[in-house]
Structure 1
Amino acid sequence: MSSRPTVLLAMEPALLPGLLDAQALARLNHLADVVPGLILHGPAGPSDAGAPGRSAALAGAEVLFASWGCPPLDEELLAAAPRLQALVYAAGSVKGIVTESSRRRGVQVSTAAWANALPVAEYTVAAVLFANKQILAVREEFRRVRGTHDWRGQLGHIGNYRRTIGIVGASRIGRRVIELLHPYDLDLVVHDPFLAPAEAADLGVRGVELDELCAVSDVVSLHAPHLPATEGMIDARRLALMRDGATLINTARGALVDTPALSAELVSGRLNAVIDTIDPDLLPADSPLYDLPNLLLTPHIAGSFGNETRRLGDAALDELARYAAGLPFAHPLADDRLDRIA
């Protein structure tokens, strides 16, 4: 490995200005020899397989500096990139990019999933605290009243003191949520089949089965990956276990929740929800969910958006600096966790 690796950018081209400002681009060019004028994105097809410079760029690339839109490291790409040794990923999940072929090749992988987890956790904590204050319901009532009112008398049931928060999934994001919630006077319960009792104790939470978590929590927040075992895990039966007036937060994957069952509970007004990911990803325009007063629905923006993407770029540059210096990645992908990540 040279001290200045040859780097090929691999992402949706429109993402680059958000990831790397002028100062970060200067740092990238100081650390590596960047292939000029070409950004690899999407799988190669008949129309672009012979695109000018693509073959030569792949042939010389030692590192892919990548983000959303990076093509999978499949047999075809690896054959075209015989010198490829590392993927530095300035985004979250690499599940659709890392392949068995790249693992056999021994391609080192760093991911900025830890950095992308931070805004998701911040969004979640804000949602938890607002949920227990019944902000959506209070807003609707304030719109209706528009004047003097006995708010203390009407809202004596709201507040965050000693509420129970159920965290589904002690994932990277789930653990960050736990960390951020600890300063508040909340009781935290967690469901995760891979979380040992001793580890739960170290996190300062109580491990419970999912049914119990749904039944005892004032807020249920989802942070599990989408796997065959987790698809539809929050179904009609488990939604029915939740307390009247409880709130479901989903910043994980929409497929974890039975959308028709959730819709029925929300339309009835029995439950509240904060939903950043839903199944399907795009609801039909006439869906009643857009207009419900007890639902805060956002278009998958809990993760890195706006200036938060700069954090991803800076994190990836730090990893590239370590690689160029011959050091191991600070945030490597653990192969044994690939089948458990989102």
Structure 2
Amino acid sequence: MPERPVAMFAMTAENVTRIFPPDALARLSELVDIDLSLVARDFTDPRVRARLAATEILITGWGCPTLDADTLDAAPELRAVLHAAGSVKGFTAPEVWERGIVVSSAAAANALPVAEYTLAMILLAGKDVFAHRDRLRAERSFPDGDILPGIGNFGRRVGIVGASRIGRRLIELLRPFDLRVSLADPYVDEAGAAALGVPLLPLDALLGGSDIVTVHAPQTPETRHLIGRRELALMPAGSVLVNTARGALVDHDALVEELRAGRISAILDVTDPEPLPADSPLYDLPNAFVTPHLAGSQGNEVARLGQTVLDEIERLLSGREPAYRIDLEGLARAA
């Protein structure tokens, strides 16, 4: 690559300034030859097409149009696609991989706030915070000095379903706490789990032996309703299901039945469908805590995604391998 390779944004225009605040844009302009006023939302646009002919680095993000064969034919110099977001599945056609274009994603940077959200919810769930908040609202008092039975995070059993980027980051964040953490993942062996510092269990054993189960598997045809009626029935009474992965991993009809029975609770940042219909019982069930898909990068956190892309550009310019390169085999198992 030349000293200042030609680059172009491909995302929604509003996301450029969110992901790349002024100091990041200044650094980007030093590293690459980029027109900050040009953001590709349609690869057939004549102005975009003209720039595409010389583009060597495409900086993508939410709202990127599909990189198909026709677009790639119009970009003969393209060497790298650096994605300032999570999954690249939605816009990369097979030809991207067939042509050997380097693809990198900021998914690891986006994993951190999801893991942080999950950590917070695990600790709050261990204290049964949401039920006690509702009780306090209703009764406007609580017994002074009483120690509440059945709650607390000392020795609480936490089962992690999926050693994804988020699952692995969560394992790291959980280490300082007095929790008993276990993992279920068909792609991890005993040695891999030992390296992560957690015992590896079959999914059924993990579900049956956890006070809190948190889902971090990718969405694939095989993982649809990974947590279904049979799996939910394995969870102990009083346990909590946390899902920050994809809504379709959990059978919502079966979950609603369990919640209505009052046997378990659920914390859901993702749902199926998303958003939920206005009449969904999940909005009103007292043992369901639903948030609007906010665990991932929000607000000032999205600048971390831009920082990741800038670091990847520096690696490319120095002849090093990108830190977060995605290969086709890994893509098939990714979220």
TM-score range, shorter chain: over 0.9
Query: Which position in structure 2 is the counterpart of 1:131?
Result: 125
Contact kept, 8 Å, 2:57 with 2:81, in 1: the verdict is yes
- The aligned runs of 1:102-113 (5 Å cut-off) are 102-113=96-107
Q: Distance in 1 between matches of 2:222 and 2:200?
A: 19
Range with greater deviation from structure 2 (142-151 or 264-273): 142-151
Q: What per-residue deviation string (whole Å, max 9, x for no partner) do you get for residues 88-134 of structure 1?
A: 11111112233321111110011111100000000000010101100
Distance verdict in 2 for CA 1:151–1:239, change over 3 Å: farther
Query: Which position in structure 2 is the counterpart of 1:142?
Result: 136
Distance verdict in 2 for CA 1:2–1:156, change over 3 Å: same
Query: Which position in structure 2 is the counterpart of 1:26?
Result: 26
Query: Which position in structure 2 is the counterpart of 1:295?
Result: 288
Query: Which position in structure 2 is the counterpart of 1:17?
Result: 17
Q: Distance in 2 between matches of 1:306 and 1:287?
A: 28
Q: Distance in 1 between matches of 2:319 and 2:54?
A: 19
Deviation at 1:256, TM superposition (A): 0.3
Query: Which position in structure 1 is the counterpart of 2:168?
Result: 175
Letter in 1 for 2:326: L
- Please state whether the residue corresponding to 2:181 is helix, strand or coil: strand
- Please state whether the residue corresponding to 2:91 is helix, strand or coil: coil
Deviation at 1:151, TM superposition (A): 6.4
Deviation at 1:142, TM superposition (A): 1.2
Deviation at 1:150, TM superposition (A): 5.2
Distance verdict in 2 for CA 1:148–1:223, change over 3 Å: closer
Deviation at 1:28, TM superposition (A): 0.8
Correspondence 1:230 to 2:223: yes
Q: Distance in 2 between matches of 1:322 and 1:108?
A: 12
- The aligned runs of 1:180-195 (5 Å cut-off) are 180-195=173-188
Letter in 2 for 1:146: R
Query: Which position in structure 1 is the counterpart of 2:113?
Result: 119
Gaps of 5+ in 2: none
Q: Distance in 1 between matches of 2:72 and 2:64?
A: 13
Give the alignment partner of residue 59 of structure 1, picking from 49, 53, 57.
53
Query: Which position in structure 2 is the counterpart of 1:7?
Result: 7
Deviation at 1:270, TM superposition (A): 1.6
Query: Which position in structure 2 is the counterpart of 1:322?
Result: 315
Correspondence 1:80 to 2:97: no
Q: Distance in 2 between matches of 1:141 and 1:148?
A: 9
Correspondence 1:207 to 2:207: no
Contact kept, 8 Å, 2:136 with 2:142, in 1: the verdict is no
RMSD over aligned Cα atoms: 1.4
- Please state whether the residue corresponding to 1:207 is helix, strand or coil: coil
Deviation at 1:41, TM superposition (A): 2.3
Contact kept, 8 Å, 2:56 with 2:78, in 1: the verdict is yes
Contact kept, 8 Å, 1:166 with 1:189, in 2: the verdict is yes
**Aligned pair count?**
335
Letter in 2 for 1:226: Q
Query: Which position in structure 2 is the counterpart of 1:41?
Result: 41
Contact kept, 8 Å, 1:35 with 1:57, in 2: the verdict is no
Deviation at 1:206, TM superposition (A): 1.0
- The aligned runs of 1:90-101 (5 Å cut-off) are 90-101=84-95
Q: What per-residue deviation string (whole Å, max 9, x for no partner) do you get for residues 300-340 of structure 1?
A: 11010000000001111111122223322122113321110
Query: Which position in structure 2 is the counterpart of 1:240?
Result: 233
Q: Distance in 1 between matches of 2:36 and 2:156?
A: 55
Range with greater deviation from structure 2 (140-149 or 258-267): 140-149
TM-score by length of 1: 0.95
Distance verdict in 2 for CA 1:148–1:54, change over 3 Å: closer
TM-score by length of 2: 0.97
Q: What per-residue deviation string (whole Å, max 9, x for no partner) do you get for residues 190-210 of structure 1?
A: 110011101111211111111
Distance verdict in 2 for CA 1:280–1:328, change over 3 Å: same
Query: Which position in structure 2 is the counterpart of 1:305?
Result: 298
Deviation at 1:14, TM superposition (A): 1.3
Letter in 2 for 1:128: I
Letter in 1 for 2:108: W
- Please state whether the residue corresponding to 1:27 is helix, strand or coil: helix
Contact kept, 8 Å, 1:6 with 1:35, in 2: the verdict is no
Q: Distance in 2 between matches of 1:277 and 1:222?
A: 11
Contact kept, 8 Å, 1:60 with 1:83, in 2: the verdict is yes
Query: Which position in structure 2 is the counterpart of 1:70?
Result: 64
